[in-house]
Structure 1
Amino acid sequence: MTDKIALITGGATGIGKATALILARRGVKVVLTGRRDDRGRQAVQEIEAAGGEASFVNCDVDSEEAVGRTIADIVSRYGRLDLAVNNAGISNENKTIGASDTEAFNGMLQTNVLGLYFCMKHEIHQMERQGGGAIVNLASIAGLNGIPWAGTYAATKHAVVGLTKSGALDYATKNIRINAVAPGAIKTDLIEKQIELGQYDETMISGMHPMGRMGRPEEIANGIVWLLSDEASFVTGHVLNIDGGFQAK
């Protein structure tokens, strides 16, 4: 993977940053996007301290114009875009569907569905021009199941699965592979803070998984990196479960 160029949306924290660190160790030049410059700078410093090459671009995936401009800037700088991880996403409420807030649902639709669609669209355009590439989208166990108190979020992640599988079929003969990962509950910095504040019960969350624990960001990142690599050259349209056995129940 040496000298390949990768875009990771939502790449400054959590799964995105863990993926960037692994890719950079393999010689990939990574471009991270997000909404907070301070977190972006910190992630770049961590990657560079480990010997990798990285840069950060403030880009809100809710804006198609911003997404298109970001990818154009990457191509202007490096000449191509080989790999893309569409990781940016939000979950902004935990309520039953009847009690859910329409504005909150619209926010998730904008980021998790339209934002990912904007990224896929412009990534695919560039990959078609250059003759190929690989894309991994972040789905969820909520994209493959009904989840109590998370119906609106689950709807957006089901859409990610649909975009992934349909896109894979559209471009199967174009040397563009499109896959997804479906993580279980992952112990990111954000979730750890929410657990500390009492907003989530770690024992209850861990108990969702047959392995009896939450996942770690790097465990998801390893699956993403494999799907991006040539080791997965015959894999497209696949949703890789990385969920401590959740789907086996």
Structure 2
Amino acid sequence: MTSQSELAFAESGEAAELVAFLGRQLRWDRTAAARLKVEGEVLAVFTRPARFEALVVRPVRLAAGAGPLDRTVSVGELVESLDEEREAVRLPAAVTGPAWAGLLPPRGGWRPVAELPHRAVWEAATAVVAEFRERTEGLAPAERTRATLDALAEEIWSRSLPETKLPLRAVHAAHALGLLRAHAPVRVLERGGWLRMRTALGSTAVRPRGTGGLGVTPL
């Protein structure tokens, strides 16, 4: 924990980028929480978009090293606390977070298993989003029940990203939160039962079905 009340970012535009990232999260869940962790000169913002079953982390470089920080906060309050002109954030008060915020994937020990062109990953993400929309629109109004839509989503996003074992739900989460905007290669890594997709803007992590679901490992 740390007693400081504000963090300053190292690069111009970081506050605006974080506002955009968190705003996308709020579109999925207005009551979303984020876990903030600071180690040295990096702030890691962890969140979990509703219904994706994937953890997302957005790292932000700080202007100077800060004392250790580990705090779960409201995403809405975090957005309101970001100052785009000063490139800083005033830390919101801690909240009692959801179950996922209590435990996170491992920090280190990840083994690279694949490196894919950005275009291939982007096309995979947009293709399944388009498929879900098309198949949903093809249902008769009486068939568009929550159970039917959930089953359709499960079918589509449980598939694997080509050339990997990574469930497409992790790719969908990265696409929805804007982590696929940078045109750089995408790496897939694993540790134990965990799989992680790392982009130039952040990461998503999942534990595929059959290995304990979204079970978590202490950080």
TM-score by length of 2: 0.23
Q: Which has the higher contact order (CA 8 A, sep 6+)?
A: 2
Q: Which structure features the higher share of strand residues?
A: 2
Structure with the largest fraction of helix: 1
